[in-house]
Amino acid sequence: MDPEALRKYSALHPKPAGLTLQYGTAGFRSRAEQLDHVVFRMGLLAILRSKAVTATIGIMVTASHNPEEDNGIKLVDPLGEMLHPSWEEYATQLANAEEQELQNVVTEICQKAAVNLHKDASVFIGRDTRPSSKKLSQSVIDGVQVLGGQYHDYGLVTTPQLHYMVCCQNTQGQYGKATLEGYYEKLSKAFMELIKQSHCSGESQRHLKIDCANGIGALKLSEMKPYFPQEVLIHIYNDGTKEKLNHLCGADFVKVHQKPPGGLDMKPNERCCSFDGDADRIVYYYKDAAGHFHLIDGDKIATLISIFLKELLAKVKENFTMAVVQTAYANGNSTRYLQETLKVPVHCVKTGVKHLHHKAQEFDVGVYFEANGHGTVLFSKAAETKIRQLVKEEKDDEKRKAAKMLENTIDLINQTVGDAVSDMLVIEAILALKGLTVQQWDALYTDLPNRLLKVQVADRRVIDTTDAERRALTPPGLQEKIDALVKKYKLSRAFVRPSGTEDVVRIYAEADTQENADALAHEVSLAVFHLAGGKGAPPQP
């Protein structure tokens, strides 16, 4: 390591005085103008991580569903997964080090993580369409080059595409080709193989309207269009040519506001979906004949995929374990439907993709989705090997056909991370194969009415939770108060959890009617305000 070069380059990317940032589930997120020093230093960290694990590491410049003025950066580990938690701490340390300490912090990380600086290192870099992303990814390259690392800049890609490339590279091409063409070819081939089995001639032309949040999803879907078969007619809206990224559109907007995005004209019973700004989340929705809006969120997506996979697994007659992983935010009726009607085990974990992903790895087939539409399916190595073997060797026609459909699904799903494009193709294939309309899918179960609120507090750390964030341990008396409030309403539950990023406490409540869910959420928010050090005026109903 050349201390002089590090000093010189670091001076070109100075840290604003007094700024501290935290590497969280989504990496670093902030106003774009505050991030130059951070992305330069993440270039350094990616090289250290690459040397430590002798593999290619990914760096994605994006702030996902945040406003266009923001940006962010996250690192991708060798198999396309999120950065290892111990390195999240190094990232925070490095980002917040003062100029004169930088050299020492780098040396300290090398010692703690046993980094051999003489090893080769390589990094894959991607970015979203924000105005600030190009300049920030150039700063990443500065960091990579200071430590003598190799890099490949993929330019504009969706976040899941970068995760995919990293995984392909580090599995020596076993997962696929580490190019955009490789990604498009793998997904479109698996999709076409799957829908070949469809007997649904009634709707041979399947129209789908897609709101791309004025983000990267529009660019990449347009590139992928030539790979799609005639049966799929996708219509892209909010393609970024006229409006701002994520402004009144995108999966987050639709889920939070429970209404259609701007820029997309919906006719009754048309199938529509929204991606978020970096295309790693998807939600579906439609308007019924009476003009009412219906949202189909991550819970219902997980349910559709689970029905499909459970039927196929029953046909191949292998003893594969299957489970669905949710968080406390999953609608109570989705959990009930999965457990009681489908008879699929459901596990609840703490909020955050890494917790869901980790739990899903415990099963042969692990389906996980957050209610916000971020999710995927993981297949164990053993299950995947067995399924591919059945396709080649199984004599029984029905078993072999089911195994073939499972194999196509394995190739269609992006197992590294939630991927709006891949998830959309899986959903479209299942709807076609089962001959389901969007209304029939929605009618599997009815969501319990619910309400999300937040209360500002002086210090979010006063709230400590247990049981996958479903019960509060502190402050004393809060959980007892919540239990008493929940008893007042039918089919009700409520929980509180501290935000991961700001001094607010998030409240979730559901009950048999919207009125009761709203009342319960309000009463719980008052309890939080009084027992957990609320700031400002008490919450109003």
Which are the catalytic amino acids? Answer: 64
Name beta bridge partners: 150.
Answer: 122
Q: Is 276 annotated as a binding residue?
A: yes
371 annotated ligand binder: yes
- 64 in a known ligand binding site: yes
Q: Which secondary structure element, helix H or strand E, spans residue 133, and what is its range?
A: helix 133-146
497 annotated ligand binder: yes
Query: Is 498 one of the annotated binding-site residues?
Result: yes
User: Which tokens sit at 346?
Assistant: 């459901």
Report the distance separating Cα 346 and Cα 353, nearest Å: 16
- The answer to whether 506 is a known ligand-binding residue is yes
Do residues 153 and 144 lie in contact, with contact meaning Cβ atoms separated by under 8 Å? no
Give phi and psi for 142, each to the nearest 5: -55, -45
418 marked among binding-site residues: no
Q: Using the 8-state DSSP alphabet, how is residue 240 labeled? A: S
CB neighbour burial string for 248-287, b if at least 16 within 10 angstroms, e if fewer: bbbbbbbbeeeebbebbebeeebbbbbbbbbbbbbbbbbb
- Give backbone dihedrals phi and psi of 242, rounded to 5 degrees, phi first: -120, -40
Q: Is 501 annotated as ligand-binding?
A: yes
Strands (E), 143-229: 150-156, 206-211
Q: Count Cβ atoms below 10 Å from residue 320 Cβ, excluding itself.
A: 20
Is there a binding annotation on residue 499? yes
Contact 336, 445 (CB under 8 A): yes
Element (H, E) at 57: strand 57-61
| Cα-based torsion angle of the residue sequence 98, 100, 105, 108 in order, rounded to the nearest 10 degrees | -150
Q: Which two tokens stand for residue 522?
A: 């309000």
Q: 78 labelled as ligand-binding?
A: no
CA angle (249, 253, 256) in 5-degree steps: 160
Beta pairing partners, 294: 286
Judged by phi (left if over 0) then psi (alpha if -120 to 50, else beta), residue 462 lies in alpha
Cα gap 89→80, rounded to integer Å: 19
Cis omega before residue 475 (within 30°)?
yes
Using the 8-state DSSP alphabet, how is residue 512 labeled? Answer: S
Nearest to 429 by CA among 216, 234, 248, 206: 206
Q: Among all chains, which residue has been given the structure tokens 């198999």?
A: 79
Element spanning 141, H or E? helix 133-146
Is residue 160 annotated as involved in ligand binding? no
Binding residue positions: 64, 276, 278, 280, 370-372, 497-501, 506
Binding residue positions for substrate: 370-372, 497-501, 506
Binding residue positions for Mg(2+): 64, 276, 278, 280
